[in-house]
Structure 1
Amino acid sequence: MQDATRIPADDGLPAAPDHRSEGLDGLITPPLSRRGFVMTSLMTGLTLATTRVEAQVIHTDTAGIEAGEVRIPAGDGPMPGYRAMPDGQGPFPVILVIEEIFGVHDYIKDICRRLAKAGYCAVAPELYARQGDLSRMTDVKEIVRDVISKTPDDQWIADLDATVVWAGSASKGDLGRLGVMGWCRGGRGVWLYAAHRRDLKAAVAWYGPVTGERTAIQPRTAGDVAAEINAPLLALYGAADTGIPVASVEEARDKAKAAGKSVELVVFPDAPHGFHADYRPSYRKEAAEAGWSRALGFLTANGVG
């Protein structure tokens, strides 16, 4: 494997543009609070917080690509992340990869490598690095209570913006071809980021919740911002997902369409939540492969390719 370039905090790159107020009135709660990073590097292996079926795990090699851990300049220091991109001069279209609640572990890293094989510069920043060390956490309820619920939306949105700046200036990224893809909680993030980022070309949300509790630091749901998305969005959901009723996603889609926005909803029969997560018992190979094919085609059709 080739080592990815590591970028120090004081590399002199320009600060991320302040897109936080664009298109998300009511979502951002200034001032943006920062604190030190708890995680200074990514975890090794798969998450410890859920049942794993390692015999079915997909592993994508690094032939023809450059892949590895990187440091992304953020407002308060270097943020750990994973970047994969094709060998060559570029520039390459950029895909922001938004993790599940379990951190940037081997599954998320492999997704970046799969995208690199498809011609993309894929970057997955560790968006929960300030809130807790996900490499050591084994209890899903603890992760939700102590990490997920305490991560302000304005914080991770600003971190994604910083990642975009870094991808364009240090990673051969073509920011004129910018997309975002996320899974589970990251799927929620896709809806919110699509409502925030005006230069986004395409967004793909894998079974992200569209409803949920509103708090002072997480004041709006994905459904709340559906009418404000700035890019076509592909929504990939499972009919057997007991936590996300298809009707709630249909409502968000219809809200977006009523506002003149583009949302394509694909529901896979009998697929549960997490059907793309090949390391978990929820994995459904046929639905995962079909969803991946639809996602890549959607990106290309909308100018990210």
Structure 2
Amino acid sequence: MEYLDFELPIKELQDQLEKCQVIGEESEVDVTQTCKKIEKKLLETKKEIYKNLSAWQRVQLSRHPDRPYTLDHIKALCGDSFLELHGDRNVKDDKAMIGGLGKIGDQTYMFIGQQKGYNTKTRQYRNFGMSNPEGYRKALRLMKSAEKFGIPVVTLIDTPGAYPGLEAEERGQGEAIARNILEMTRLKVPIITIIIGEGASGGALGIGVGNKVLMLENTWYSVISPESCSSILWRSWEYKEQAAEALKLTSPDMKRLKLIDGIIKEPLGGAHTDRKATFLAVKNAIEKNYEELKNLSPKDLVNQRMEKYLNMGVFKG
């Protein structure tokens, strides 16, 4: 288990608990009460730390190396029923954007999401979760296929942004993202979008237009990352914590501003501390929101989606 800097008090207590348990196992000394006291203190410390997380700390949790990625969620939700589909039928298959058909219970969904890597080799293979234009065009192809067969779409967002390389711009990165946003507004099947990690910039919006948009508790969704915002405004990354607070990018901020529809609660300590509980919460959220959408007509689905986005940012003076 890797610990972030603000989690060090938890690490110290966890180490103490393990030492206490070892002493109990290797000697005849009864350390039961001592272990219980440490366990109680550990639980209290966890509650205190995770109850008062800053925006920057939530950003750090969203990037935790042990946090489940898109394929982890899909495999947990669908098991062996998931069939991955490849290619944009134009340039190539973008490994940073994955998609395919899978079942939750008896209902088939088209899953689409960004995939990051677990180590240096797979991070390069997945391009750090940053999609090229062909990734967004693959996503659109799959969404159109889902529309043709009346299959609901579930998008899982976890990206530091679309790939900003010269080749990506030459192949029409901006147009690919804009096209997806346009087409998703008028797709005639339900779209459920869930931010499971980082939701940065147009890279997230390219698959982020949904009838229902949800965020896991310790994720972020913003036009720019705190580091990039800091480097633009202060010419330094040192102010990333201040930038994170100002950007209002956390799930409670987004819910309060009515930019998302709901927050999926994570286990105490983050999604990586109890993956099964996280997967179950995501599964329940998908099923619950699909129940609300499945009886709407194609016209009503489009109208609801358009109305939702047209109302964003509207206020009375």
TM-score using structure 1 length: 0.42
Greater RCO between the two (CA within 8 Å, min separation 6)? 1
TM-score using structure 2 length: 0.41
Who wins on radius of gyration, i.e. which is larger? 2
Greater helix fraction, Structure 1 or Structure 2: 2
